[in-house]
Amino acid sequence: MASVVDLLKSHRSIRKFTDEKIPPDLLQALFEAGQAAATSSFLQGSTIVRVTDPVNRSKLAELAGNQKYVETAAEFLVFCADLKRPGNFCRAYGKPFEGDFTEHFIIATVDVALMAQSLVTAAESEGLGICYIGGIRNNPGPVSALLRLPQGVYPVFGLCLGYPDQDPEIKPRLPVPVVVKQDYYNEEGDADQIEEYDEAIREYYRTRTGGGHGISWSEQVATLLSEKSRPHMKAFLADQGFVFK
Ligand SMILES: Cc1cc2nc3c(=O)[nH]c(=O)nc-3n(C[C@H](O)[C@H](O)[C@H](O)COP(=O)(O)O)c2cc1C
């Protein structure tokens, strides 16, 4: 059996799945593994909506930017940050609800990510493939309406889960010294290492696109950060009750 380290290092997103269903017992075990993740202040501020209705799956695929695998994966889960469930108890205990602080938003969002990644690791250890779907934030309002998300709950990302019908290459990550700094933040030596890494990424894309033009990591992220990114999110979060104080 591969070590957990080897398992984690073998991750690659899967975007093509077989028709095989995930056995209910395994799915239950994956949910429990996700729930076992650490949770800030024991808030347990995450809710998963498992979308089984094929019509809704198809609508979500479209809302996520026509990502077909949202429809075709064995399972599609929407991971939501949830301040409503714990917030309900403010009323029950006669306390004011102050859940609209930026800090609470961070806590719930981090909880969701930790739960999802634990579930993902468990899933990959069982031979399943996954793809996170941030694309649902292209249309967070319609997605929330479809899933009947109340105030205090917002969809952070989706997750496709299923048995892989492809075997893509592992996408190389930045060299560790670029990402891990000793004692203080610095950028010493980063430029040379990123230049080398850019070449590895160009090669990765060339191979993946069958010899097509490979784009470097640095150019890709520069483009990303030079463009407006889902500018509707601020107003959407305010509408859902995540008004930042
Ligand atoms: C929060 C999050 C959202 C993502 N959203 C999408 C998405 O909407 N569609 C998609 O095809 N991949 C999505 N991805 C997958 C990333 O593109 C992928 O993880 C990254 O390119 C690294 O590739 P790898 O997972 O194969 O190592 C997302 C990943 C994360 C963590």
Q: Where along the chain do its domains lie? A: 4-168+228-239, 176-214
Residue 208: pLDDT band with limits 50, 70, 90: confident
Rounded to two decimals, the pTM is: 0.96
Q: 155, 79 in Cβ contact below 8 A?
A: yes
Look up residue 103 and give its two tokens. 């800090």
With a 6 Å cutoff on the Cβ, whether 16 touches ligand 1 is no
Please name the residue ranges forming H helices in the chain: 4-9, 24-35, 54-63, 69-72, 84-92, 102-125, 140-146, 176-179, 190-208, 217-225, 233-239
Distance CA(56)–CA(187), nearest Å, equals 46
pLDDT tens-digit map of 223-234: 999 999 999 999
Nearest ligand 1 atom, CA 113: 1
- The residue whose CA is least distant from atom 15 of ligand 1 is 132
- For 37-60, the pLDDT digits (tens) are 999 999 999 999 999 999 999 999
Ligand 1 midpoint to CA 22 (Å): 22
Angle, helices 102-125 vs 24-35, to 10°: value is: 140
* pLDDT grade for 2, boundaries at 50, 70 and 90: confident
Is the minimum distance from the CB of 157 to ligand 1 under 6 angstroms?
yes
| Of 13, 46, 68, best ligand 1 pocket probe by most atoms within 8 Å of the beta carbon | 13
Residue 11 CB–ligand 1 contact under 6 Å: yes
Confidence band of 98 (pLDDT split at 50, 70, 90): confident
Radius of gyration of the chain measured on its C-alpha atoms = 20
* CB of 57 shorter than 6 A to ligand 1: no
User: Which atom in ligand 1 lies closest to the alpha carbon of residue 64?
Assistant: 8
| 53 vs 55: CA distance, rounded Å | 5
Q: Which is nearest to 114 in space by CA: 49, 36, 179, 180?
A: 36
Contact 100, 170 (CB under 8 A): no
Pick the CATH number of 4-168+228-239 from 3.30.70.1880, 3.40.50.300, 3.30.1490.20, 3.40.109.10: 3.40.109.10
The rounded Å distance from CA 15 to ligand 1 centre is: 10
- Ligand 1 pocket member 132 (CB < 6 A): yes
Higher per-residue confidence, 244 vs 231: 231
H/E element holding 47? strand 46-50
3-state secondary structure string, 137-199? HHCHHHHHHHCCCCCCEEEEEEEEEECECCCCCCCCCCCHHHHCCCCCCCCCCHHHHHHHHHH
Q: Check if 67 has its Cβ closer than 6 Å to any atom of ligand 1.
A: yes
Whether residue 17 is predicted with pLDDT greater than 90 in this model: the reply is yes
Amino acid at site 232: H
Q: Residues 35, 244, 81, CA angle at the centre, nearest 5°?
A: 20
Take residue 206 and report the two structure tokens written for it: 């060339």
Q: Report phi then psi at 47, rounded to 5.
A: -135, 135
